[in-house]
C-alpha cells in the first residue's frame, strides 16, 4: 500500500527548458505511475506553474532548435486531470504575485498557509522539495 505523500514544490523554472519539464512534477508523475499516492502543493514562485496560457518559445542555439519546449500549465493540468494527483495552490502566494484565481488552470485547489498543518496531518509523508 503506497503511503499518502504530500510534495511541496516551491522552486520554479529551474532547468525546465533544459529538462523540458519541472523535475519534481515529473518525478511525482513517474512515482504516481509506479503505484504512488501523491498530492502536490505549489507554493512560493511555483504557484505560477498553475497560471493558464504560459509556455516559453522553443530554445534555439545556432542551427539547433528545441522541439519539445515545456509548458508548465499543461503539466500541472495533467497531474490534476489525468493522474489523480490533487494539486493545491497556496492562495496567499498567488495574491502576492498578482495572480487571480480565475487565471488558473481548472481543477487545482486553493489552500491557505494557515491550513497547511491540517493538510500535512492528512498525509503520511511530507516531501518539501
| C-alpha span between 121 and 17 (Å, rounded) | 35
The answer to the question of residue 39 lying near another protein (CB under 8 A) is no
How distant is the alpha carbon of residue 56 from its chain centre?
16
Which of the ranges 20-28, 53-61, 70-78, 100-108 carries the binding residues for another protein, by CB under 8 A? 20-28
The answer to the question of residue 83 lying near another protein (CB under 8 A) is no
The answer to the question of residue 122 lying near another protein (CB under 8 A) is no
Which of the ranges 4-12, 50-58, 75-83, 99-107 carries the binding residues for another protein, by CB under 8 A? 4-12
CB 115, min distance to another protein, A: 9
The answer to the question of residue 98 lying near another protein (CB under 8 A) is no
Q: Which helix (H) or strand (E) holds 16?
A: helix 16-19
The DSSP bridge partners found for residue 86 are 39
Look up residue 71 and give its three cell numbers.
Answer: 509548458
Single residue of 34, 57, 67, 102 touching another protein by CB under 8 A: 34
The DSSP bridge partners found for residue 65 are 60
Q: How many helices (H) and strands (E) does the chain have?
A: 5, 7
Single residue of 17, 31, 86, 110 touching another protein by CB under 8 A: 31
| C-alpha span between 2 and 89 (Å, rounded) | 23
Which of the ranges 52-60, 71-79, 81-89, 112-120 carries the binding residues for another protein, by CB under 8 A? 112-120
Amino acid at each position: 500500500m503506497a503511503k499518502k505523500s504530500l510534495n511541496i514544490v516551491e522552486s520554479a523554472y529551474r532547468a525546465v527548458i533544459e529538462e523540458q519539464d519541472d523535475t519534481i512534477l515529473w518525478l511525482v508523475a513517474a512515482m504516481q505511475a509506479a503505484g504512488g499516492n501523491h498530492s502536490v502543493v505549489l507554493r512560493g514562485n511555483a504557484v505560477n506553474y498553475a497560471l493558464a496560457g504560459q509556455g516559453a518559445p522553443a530554445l534555439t542555439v545556432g542551427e539547433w532548435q528545441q522541439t519539445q519546449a515545456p509548458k508548465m500549465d499543461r503539466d500541472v493540468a495533467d497531474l490534476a486531470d489525468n493522474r489523480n494527483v490533487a494539486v493545491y495552490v497556496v492562495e496567499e502566494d498567488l495574491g502576492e504575485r498578482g495572480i487571480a484565481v480565475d487565471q488558473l488552470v481548472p481543477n487545482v485547489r486553493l489552500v491557505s498557509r494557515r491550513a497547511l498543518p491540517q493538510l500535512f496531518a492528512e498525509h503520511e509523508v511530507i516531501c518539501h522539495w
